[in-house]
């Protein structure tokens, strides 16, 4: 639902401000020098197999889910994420005709980046939670929620939302909130599932309008614009989606 709302509002914005007609990089405030430096050779013909390879691991995971019963005779427990990724990697190597040495190098390079950019953030979130608990902030926040139960949906959605905007990480914001607050959801008259969903979606939407999020910085670099321009474009859809989702869950 949140994704549909974001797409609808972005479409409405484009139509309202005529961003779908006569668009030029200059009108978007793009740095033409950066665009020229980042310009890549045009792709004359799309290789369909190469385009489909990135979806193979996800497709394998979905098709082998035991509950679907599609592959239960061959794979009673289905495929794990690791197995699906390895199969996808092998197929990618065959389709692109890339040497095993380069594949292995890129694979471990990707693992290192994942540890520094994702797992490192999760570890930092755990340390952050420990600091908040030691300082008594979590207890004070829980007491606040108990005294203002009607504000729980708002705080559950926009607490992680704001943290994600400032930090650029939706995971860190949601994990911190769900670890510290969501286990006490029953005390606030709300289910842990609803409160947890609010935190996860709020964190995800906040990250999507954060100018310091990795995806925003990379996307802005490709477009030759400031990350703040991209964040401003996403602000209204993300805020609207967060409000609607909060009302649905609350």
Task: Say if 114 falls within a structural domain.
Answer: no
Return the residue matching tokens 């045009």.
42
Residues 142 and 241 placed together within one structural domain of the fold? yes
DSSP-derived 3-state class of residue 211: coil
Residues 36 and 147 placed together within one structural domain of the fold? yes
The total number of structural domains that make up the chain? 2
Task: Say if 129 falls within a structural domain.
Answer: no
Per-residue model confidence as pLDDT tens for the chain (250 residues): 778 888 888 888 778 877 666 655 555 555 545 555 445 555 677 788 888 998 999 999 999 988 888 887 888 888 998 899 889 989 988 998 888 888 888 888 878 877 776 677 667 766 776 787 788 876 776 677 666 767 888 888 998 898 888 878 888 778 888 888 888 888 888 888 888 999 999 999 999 998 888 788 777 777 777 788 888 888 999 999 999 988 887 6
Residues 46 and 30 placed together within one structural domain of the fold? no
CA distance readout (Å), 149 to 133, 182, 200, 202, 205? 21, 13, 20, 18, 23
**Both structure tokens of 131:** 């600091």
Residues 204 and 83 placed together within one structural domain of the fold? no
Residues 197 and 239 placed together within one structural domain of the fold? yes
Residues 45 and 154 placed together within one structural domain of the fold? no
Which 8-state DSSP code applies to residue 28?
Answer: T
**pTM higher than the cut 0.95:** no
Q: What angle do CA 124, 119, 91 make, to 5 degrees?
A: 170
Which residues constitute the domain of residue 91? 41-98
Rounded Cα gap, residues 221 and 30, in angstroms = 10
Residues 91 and 207 placed together within one structural domain of the fold? no
Task: Say if 33 falls within a structural domain.
Answer: yes
Residues 230 and 146 placed together within one structural domain of the fold? yes
Residues 145 and 32 placed together within one structural domain of the fold? yes
> Burial of 226 by CB count in 10 Å (0-12 exposed, 13-18 middle, 19+ buried)?
middle
Assign residue 79 a region (left: φ > 0; alpha: ψ between -120 and 50; beta: otherwise). Answer: beta
Residues 66 and 23 placed together within one structural domain of the fold? no
Residues 24 and 146 placed together within one structural domain of the fold? yes
């Amino acid at each position: 639902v949140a994704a549909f709302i974001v797409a609808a509002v972005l479409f409405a914005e484009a139509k309202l401000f005529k961003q779908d007609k006569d668009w030029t990089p200059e009108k978007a405030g793009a740095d033409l020098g950066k665009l020229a430096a980042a310009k890549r050779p045009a792709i004359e013909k799309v290789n369909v197999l190469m385009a489909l390879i990135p979806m193979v691991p996800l497709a394998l995971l979905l098709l082998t889910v035991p509950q679907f019963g599609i592959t239960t005779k061959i794979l009673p427990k289905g495929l794990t994420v690791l197995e699906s990724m390895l199969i996808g990697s092998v197929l990618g190597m065959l389709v692109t005709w890339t040497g095993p040495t380069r594949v292995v190098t890129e694979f471990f390079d990707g693992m290192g980046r994942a540890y520094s950019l994702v797992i490192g953030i999760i570890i930092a979130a755990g340390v952050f939670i420990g600091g908040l608990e030691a300082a008594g902030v979590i207890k004070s926040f829980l007491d606040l929620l108990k005294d203002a139960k009607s504000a729980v949906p708002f705080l559950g959605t926009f607490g992680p939302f704001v943290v994600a905007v400032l930090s650029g990480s939706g995971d860190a914001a949601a994990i911190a909130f769900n670890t510290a607050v969501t286990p006490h959801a029953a005390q606030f008259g709300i289910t842990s599932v609803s409160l947890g969903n609010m935190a996860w979606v709020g964190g995800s939407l906040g990250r999507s309008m954060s100018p310091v999020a990795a995806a925003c910085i990379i996307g802005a670099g490709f477009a030759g614009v400031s990350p703040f321009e991209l964040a401003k474009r996403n602000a209204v859809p993300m805020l609207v989606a967060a409000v609607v989702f909060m009302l649905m869950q609350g």
